[in-house]
């Protein structure tokens, strides 16, 4: 008798990460990020008071950060005249490139509590030393594909407006109790995972709130069904594997030692500028600390 043919991706690893106060680190560049690159870092955060951000002012280079909310909303102000609110289905995307200091652009929204994910993507060599840029997109700007919002990438005839590198998909999904969905992994996007923020889903094995699931190295479909009594909310990512080694700094991920040095050098230059601004704040300044690029 021949063995049954597997038509969907298998779960090969799962983790609940490490808890640090309101933040749980599910993946870092030095552990699962080595297996799932360009996905190199994932935090899930949960705040009882949305006015108390878990993120301090900090630098990055060589990566893009992607922040989405599964519960509640946050206000944004980038210091350049752009402001609004981001809730479920919206996104804050920041491409650090050669270096940036940020962390205070998001503030309290209309909701008291706030829950969401922050993801890092390792940038390709042609973008890792480019100028930094940001996008703040409300849910109305993000395409719907079935029960999902397409945060990054191209899927089911839709294209996200986020200016991310090619070959990466990232979606936020809500499944009502008993609802099923099949994510058809694009050809070649063999790095695949999902993380659950509420409810329960059945894959080829069950996954519950707080878990990150890593799939086998294939581009077969991912089939899921909500099995809990509340809506299952999750994020899912797939990508073509990042072809470079990861060269790591405290806040940086680059494709080479030389690029890492260049990024960290620019971060230090920006830090000097930040200190100078604190000594001599611009006249009539108000609002959040500006993003320094």
Residue 289: its pLDDT value, please?
45
Structure-block tokens of residue 245: 């080694």
Q: Indicate whether 252 pLDDT > 80.
A: yes
Phi, psi of 58 (to 5 degrees): -155, 160
Structure-block tokens of residue 130: 């480019």
Looking up tokens 């996008």 gives 135
Nearest to 54 by CA among 134, 100, 99, 118: 118
* Interval 261-293: pLDDT, tens: 999 999 999 988 878 877 776 554 444 444 565
The CATH T-level fold of domain 11-270 is Jelly Rolls (2.60.120)
Q: Indicate whether 106 pLDDT > 50.
A: yes
Query: What is the percentage of the chain residues whose pLDDT exceeds 90?
Result: 74
| Averaged pLDDT for residues 9-30 | 95
Structure-block tokens of residue 70: 């599964």
Q: Indicate whether 116 pLDDT > 50.
A: yes
φ/ψ region of 199 (left if φ > 0, alpha if ψ in -120 to 50, else beta) reads: left
Residue 102: its pLDDT value, please?
82
Residue 102: strand pairing partners: 58
| Averaged pLDDT for residues 46-58 | 75
């Amino acid at each position: 008798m021949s063995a049954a043919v597997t038509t969907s991706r298998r779960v090969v690893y799962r983790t609940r990460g490490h808890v640090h106060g309101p933040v749980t680190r599910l993946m870092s560049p030095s552990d699962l990020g080595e297996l799932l690159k360009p996905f190199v870092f994932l935090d899930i955060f949960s705040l009882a008071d949305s006015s108390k951000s878990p993120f301090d002012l900090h630098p990055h280079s060589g990566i893009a950060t992607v922040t989405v909310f599964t519960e509640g909303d946050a206000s944004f102000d980038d210091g350049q005249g752009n402001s609004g609110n981001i809730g479920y289905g919206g996104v804050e995307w920041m491409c650090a490139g050669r270096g940036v200091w940020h962390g205070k652009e998001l503030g309290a929204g209309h909701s008291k509590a706030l829950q969401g994910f922050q993801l890092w993507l390792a940038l390709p060599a042609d973008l890792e030393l480019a100028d930094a840029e940001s996008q703040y997109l409300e849910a109305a700007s993000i395409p719907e594909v079935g029960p999902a919002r397409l945060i990054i990438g191209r899927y089911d005839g839709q294209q996200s407006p986020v200016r991310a590198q090619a070959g990466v998909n990232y979606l936020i999904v809500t499944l009502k109790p008993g609802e099923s969905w099949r994510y058809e992994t694009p050809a070649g996007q063999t790095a695949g995972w999902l993380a659950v923020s509420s409810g329960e889903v059945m894959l080829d094995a069950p996954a519950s709130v707080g878990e990150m699931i890593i799939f086998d190295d294939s581009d077969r479909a991912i089939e899921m069904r909500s099995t809990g009594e509340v809506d299952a909310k999750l994020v899912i990512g797939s990508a073509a594997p990042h072809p470079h080694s990861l060269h790591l700094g405290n806040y940086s991920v680059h494709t080479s030692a030389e690029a890492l040095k260049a990024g960290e050098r620019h971060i230090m230059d920006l830090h000097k500028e930040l200190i100078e601004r604190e000594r001599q704040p611009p006249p009539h300044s108000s609002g959040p600390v500006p993003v320094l690029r």
